[in-house]
């Protein structure tokens, strides 16, 4: 039997990809991106994060970086297309911030969206919960 | 990201401690047909627990084969590359078992109880293979008894392990004798509930392994976690077991060791005794020793923040000269390290590891990567 506190945290105000990234959209076309609580828990302790440089442009659902955990590596996929306007530099020295705080201190990049329509392809918290529920 | 979500198959076996692991919140995975705890509260924390205090492992997936009778010693000496005739009662011996080509069939621990009684501890993935192969090679007046189903195996590893285990009520009189137990020696139990407590392990730290009935193992597991808490001890899963053995340069079957890798290539020359009586693989190993090994296991340190995983190619320029056998972030050393089997003629060249399309420069470093203080 799984204890209640083992359930992954899936905040309702965020959008998600089927590949376990989350997106926090604001009103002026900017987005904060990270990986979900479920993803960090599956990966285990994260030791290196390979991030794009500021100013790079990325395309929706294309790989734009990677996360190395002790046991495994996973590609990061861009949830939306756009320009990288900020990267979380503290992750270079403290990558386990992603494990400890996947939705807050462990954010990964800030982006400026080029196509607001792409947001329609993202999953709601309910849809993502359903997907994670099936995986477990 | 793509996550490899583990889904248990119905036929996987459970150790006697399965429910203890689930209760502790362990993440369980399938490993060599067994449902095993891969981590409890995080691989880095569990790794550190063993290096600084003590960690308790359930490694009951390992197999225990008992050889008895006047033919037991010659049988084992014929299968092992190490010298079993020199093994004294009350001591354990690490040895590869080879095929005729000198490749490693398994790497095992042999325990000698008396003149005619031995226990061979085999890797879970090789259990069926080695049991069958041993039966084919039994010499007259030898009995082989596979007790794997009836026995659990616990390991308590770390600088505080002796203190913790010495206070065990369950181990009774044996607990008091652990203080004087040297490295690779063991104390036999009654043979039913407690088979043996040995000064052995897979972490490079001071540590013990306990072979016992399931019932006694469950009781000892609970007792050790309760009494160990004040010492900073706790459970440790297979993920940290792997990073711990990796740092101290121990080979893992399926990674460094395989049917097409010889013990001489893997840096286990000290376990190959060519002066003893004939054994399986001897001719091939003698030839390799004479002509030099085609490949050698080396330590590498990656010069960038990337991890060389098992199977990644090692290159000199455009030429592939070997492959990574194990690689990870070493938690104690906080460096990205790898072990790799590399062709002899490339050992002095500047090497790269191909990490997802990129050549990451890798510096040769000596094995083992780490030597814990005072383990022997």
Domains delineated in chain A:
27-135 (2.40.50.100)
Q: Is the pLDDT of residue B101 over 90?
A: yes
Yes or no, beta carbons of B3 and A99 under 8 Å apart? no
Under the banding of pLDDT at 50, 70 and 90, the label for residue B10 is: low
Task: Give A65-124 pLDDT, tens digit per residue.
Answer: 999 999 899 999 999 999 999 999 999 999 999 999 999 999 999 999 999 999 999 999
Residue of B nearest to A22 (CA): B1
3-class state of residue A13 by DSSP = coil
pLDDT at position B357 is 87
The share of chain B scoring above pLDDT 90, in percent, equals 95
Q: What is the distance in angstroms between the Cα of B214 and the nearest Cα belonging to chain A?
A: 22
3-class state of residue B112 by DSSP = strand
CA distance A118 to A60: 8
CA distance A134 to A97: 27
Number of A to B CB contacts under 8 A, please give it. Answer: 66
Q: Is the pLDDT of residue B169 over 50?
A: yes
Out of B1, B4, B336, whose CB is closest to A35? B1
Task: Give B225-273 pLDDT, tens digit per residue.
Answer: 999 999 999 999 999 999 999 999 999 999 999 999 999 999 999 999 9
Yes or no, beta carbons of A50 and B328 under 8 Å apart? no
Yes or no, beta carbons of A73 and B5 under 8 Å apart? no
Task: Give B46-87 pLDDT, tens digit per residue.
Answer: 999 999 999 999 999 999 999 999 999 999 999 999 999 999
Q: Is the pLDDT of residue A3 over 60?
A: no
Q: Looking at A124-133, B246-255, B320-329, which range is the least confident one?
A: A124-133
Residue of A nearest to B40 (CA): A44
Out of A39, A99, A135, whose CB is closest to B1? A39
pLDDT at position B269 is 97
Task: Give B338-352 pLDDT, tens digit per residue.
Answer: 999 999 999 999 999
Alpha helix ranges (H) inside chain A: 37-43, 97-100, 125-135
Judged by a CB distance cut-off of 8 A, whether residue A13 touches chain B is no
Task: Give B273-304 pLDDT, tens digit per residue.
Answer: 999 999 999 999 999 999 999 999 999 999 99
Q: Which residues pair with B18 in a beta bridge?
A: none
* Binding-face residues of B in 89-118 toward A, CB within 8 A: none
A77 within 8 A of A59, measured Cβ to Cβ: no
pLDDT at position A33 is 97
Q: What is the distance in angstroms between the Cα of A88 and the nearest Cα belonging to chain B?
A: 16
pLDDT at position B1 is 66
Which ipTM did the prediction report? 0.86
pLDDT at position A2 is 37
Residue of A nearest to B243 (CA): A70
The share of chain A scoring above pLDDT 90, in percent, equals 88
The share of chain A scoring above pLDDT 70, in percent, equals 94
Yes or no, beta carbons of B3 and A43 under 8 Å apart? yes
CA distance A51 to A66: 7
Tell me the two tokens of residue B266: 């893997």
Tell me the two tokens of residue A136: 């477990």
Out of B2, B43, B305, whose CB is closest to A70? B43
Judged by a CB distance cut-off of 8 A, whether residue A66 touches chain B is yes
Residue of A nearest to B242 (CA): A71
Domains and CATH numbers, chain B: 13-57+150-247 (3.30.1360.120), 294-376 (2.40.30.110)
Task: Give B190-236 pLDDT, tens digit per residue.
Answer: 988 999 999 999 999 999 999 999 999 999 999 999 999 999 999 99
pLDDT at position A27 is 86
pLDDT at position B5 is 67
Out of B3, B38, B329, whose CB is closest to A47? B329
Q: Which residues in A lie closer than 8 A to residue B22 (C-beta atoms)?
A: 1
Exposure letters B89-113 (e unless 16+ CB within 10 A, then b)? ebbbbbbbbbeeebbbbbbbbbbbb
* Binding-face residues of B in 268-327 toward A, CB within 8 A: 305-307, 309
Q: What is the distance in angstroms between the Cα of B72 and the nearest Cα belonging to chain A?
A: 40
pLDDT at position A133 is 84
Under the banding of pLDDT at 50, 70 and 90, the label for residue B373 is: confident
pLDDT at position A4 is 41
Yes or no, beta carbons of B3 and A74 under 8 Å apart? yes
A24 within 8 A of A32, measured Cβ to Cβ: yes
Angle between helices B238-247 and B43-52 (to 10 degrees): 50
Mean pLDDT of B87-115: 98
Among A39, A21, A25, CA closest to A108: A21
Yes or no, beta carbons of B1 and A96 under 8 Å apart? no
Would you give the distance in Å from CA B315 to the centre of its chain? Answer: 29
Judged by a CB distance cut-off of 8 A, whether residue B331 touches chain A is yes
Q: Which residues in B lie closer than 8 A to residue A75 (C-beta atoms)?
A: 1-2
Q: Which residues in A lie closer than 8 A to residue B42 (C-beta atoms)?
A: 44-45, 99
């Amino acid at each position: 039997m799984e204890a209640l506190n083992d359930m992954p945290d899936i905040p309702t105000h965020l959008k998600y990809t089927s590949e376990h990234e989350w997106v926090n959209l604001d009103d002026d076309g900017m987005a904060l991106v990270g990986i979900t609580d479920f993803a960090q828990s599956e990966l285990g302790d994260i030791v290196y994060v390979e991030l794009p440089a500021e100013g790079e442009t990325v395309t929706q659902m294309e790989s734009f970086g990677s996360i190395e955990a002790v046991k495994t590596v996973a590609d990061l996929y861009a949830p939306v297309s756009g320009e990288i306007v900020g990267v979380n530099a503290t992750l270079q020295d403290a990558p386990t911030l992603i494990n400890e705080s996947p939705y807050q201190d462990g954010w990964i990049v800030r982006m400026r969206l080029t196509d607001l329509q792409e947001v329609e392809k993202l999953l709601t918290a309910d849809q993502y919960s359903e997907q994670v529920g099936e995986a477990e | 990201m793509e996550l490899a979500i583990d889904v248990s198959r119905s036929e996987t076996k459970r150790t006697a401690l399965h429910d203890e692991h689930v209760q502790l919140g362990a993440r369980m995975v399938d490993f060599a047909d067994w449902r095993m705890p891969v981590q409890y509260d995080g691989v880095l924390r569990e790794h550190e627990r063993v290096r600084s205090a003590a960690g308790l492992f359930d490694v009951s997936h390992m197999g225990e084969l008992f050889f008895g009778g006047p033919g037991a010693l010659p049988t084992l000496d014929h299968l092992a590359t190490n010298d079993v005739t020199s093994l004294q009662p009350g001591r354990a011996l690490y040895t590869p078992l080879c095929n005729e080509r000198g490749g490693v069939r398994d790497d095992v621990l042999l325990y000698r109880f008396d003149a005619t009684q031995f226990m061979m501890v085999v890797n879970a993935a090789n259990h069926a293979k080695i049991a069958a192969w041993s039966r084919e090679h039994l010499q007259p007046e030898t009995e082989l008894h596979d007790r794997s189903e009836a026995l659990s195996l616990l390991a308590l590893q770390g600088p505080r392990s002796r203190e913790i285990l010495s206070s065990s009520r369950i181990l009774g009189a044996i607990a008091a004798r652990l203080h004087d137990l040297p490295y690779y020696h063991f104390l036999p139990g009654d043979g039913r509930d407690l088979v043996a407590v040995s000064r052995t392990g897979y972490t490079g730290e001071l540590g013990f392994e306990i072979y016992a009935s399931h019932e006694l193992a469950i009781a000892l597991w609970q007792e050790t976690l309760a009494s160990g808490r004040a010492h900073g001890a706790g459970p440790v899963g297979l993920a940290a077991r792997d990073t711990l053995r990796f740092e101290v340069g121990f080979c893992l079957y399926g990674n460094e060791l395989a049917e097409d890798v010889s013990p001489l290539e893997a840096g286990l020359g000290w376990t190959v005794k060519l002066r003893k009586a004939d054994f399986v693989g001897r001719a091939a190993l003698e030839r390799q020793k004479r002509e030099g090994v085609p490949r050698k296991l080396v330590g590498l340190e990656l010069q960038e923040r990337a991890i060389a995983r098992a199977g990644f190619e090692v290159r000199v320029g455009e030429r592939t000269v070997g492959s990574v056998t194990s690689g990870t972030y070493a938690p104690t050393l906080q460096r990205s390290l790898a072990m790799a089997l590399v062709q002899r003629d490339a050992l002095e060249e500047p090497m790269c590891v191909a990490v997802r399309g990129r050549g990451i420069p890798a510096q040769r470093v000596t094995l083992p990567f780490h030597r814990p203080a005072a383990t022997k």
